[in-house]
Chain A
Amino acid sequence: MADPADVQAREVNFVAEVLIETQNLTKLYGRGSSVIRALDGVDLSINQGEFVAVVGASGSGKSTLMNMLGGLDKPDGGDIAIAGQSLSHMSKRALAHFRNETIGFVFQQFQLLPKKSALTNVRLPMQYRRPRLDNESERARGSLERVGLADRTHHKPTELSGGQQQRVAIARALVGEPNLLLADEPTGALDSKTSTDVMELLVELNQQGITIVLITHDKEVADYAGRVITMRDGKIVEDHKQGTPA
């Protein structure tokens, strides 16, 4: 079995392939005079293998953008395409399939099933994969190994530290070999030491070729990314590349 990370890394090295493309992406909340433009004509292009941080104050539209990228919400205007698939006109079913195959989610609150073991939690996305993948247990174990938790497979979330829980969640996001890892304030519930560990893990995964988009309001967290997009009032106000930290 070819390591998908290798394949992706090669693609990054030779062709800067576009993974995410949005055009005039618009999302409105409310109606009439009190309508709020959560996204106001966002044009964005993210290449395969990038590590992008989306920053902005709350209400800036970064969460809405995140939901759009994850196929959890549909735009009211414009278009969004991920890995060559346009999401704007996909059915709910197709979106569910898309999320399962293409996206790996990491949430601020981890969102682990509290009474299930780490292994069971990591296996969860494969339950909804069609056709089913082979060697589900092996894949789940491999994924936990990748985040450094090979020795915690049978621990329940309550028996793990916050940092370990988030790493289980990252392993769960990786298990389906997604094109894109979406992290929503992944360190928001962690202390600074643990945050550093988790961010270093994400950087490491990115170096293995995984495309990561994370949203945060924390400048220090954003500094781990190779590209920082700043949002305000539903618009991108700044977009700059930066060198990866030492």
Chain B
Amino acid sequence: MRKILEKLDRVDRRVIYLLMALSVFVPLSLRLSYPIPVGEGPSRDLFDAIEAMPSGSVVLVSYDYDPSTMPELQPMAVALTQHMFTRGHRIIAMALWPQGASLSQEAMTAVGDSLGKAQYDDWVNLGYTVGAGVSIVRMGSSIRAVFPQDRDGFPYDSIPLLTRVQSLRDIDLVISLSAGDPGIHAWVMMAGDRFGLPVGGGCTAVSAPEFYTYLGTGQMLGLLGGLKGAADYETMVREGRENAPAGLATPGMAAQSIAHLVIMAFIIIGNISYLVIHKRRKGAPK
């Protein structure tokens, strides 16, 4: 037994990688699905905040990620856009990451077209800006100074949706979908603290714990953390809509469940072998 545990303790990392791959691949292939109950928490807080806003509110969504984190963040973007459009809100999309501009266009066009929303009246994509936090500060005095035209080269002043939007003070809510920096930190510090804007966000599961400080102080309205946050939001958006199609995140939750169990199994095996070997070494003659 001890020998087996010693072997397990020195197991080749490629074996771990293989088991990990299977734990994701098998549930996805078998189309396993679990119900996703959404309790109280930051996901519901964000949903409720958007629900409570009067129809026609202007929401600025910043796509602060790139294709690598797309599997976690794009489902959030789609679900949020669906929710905001069905509530009658208008969306200004932008990006602090260069490739975010293309990802925002993809989400806005797909959801906007399916719900009959018109570009420039109901939504606009301003594209990418360099400068991160500094750009946000400048947007506090003039958004036009940072984005003289939208992503397609249409002048700012000729876009009907932007007629009354001169600075960040004219925005009703900011949502940053963030895979790193610049992202939520910059929006909370510059737009939230400096210009008093309500800020919500979505982030990768890895980064979620650090934003709980902002939730506790009220500097953020709500937060979608990783695939779980996206799946929660999809569930809430679909509540009461029987025939609504399943979102992009919900099918992944079964795979994530199994993957978490596998990681926990690794940790348990690692600890058993550690305790047995450690005990033996302690008892060994010096």
Do these two chains interact?
A: no
Q: Which residues from chain B sit less than 8 Å from chain A, CB to CB?
A: none
Q: Which residues from chain A sit less than 8 Å from chain B, CB to CB?
A: none
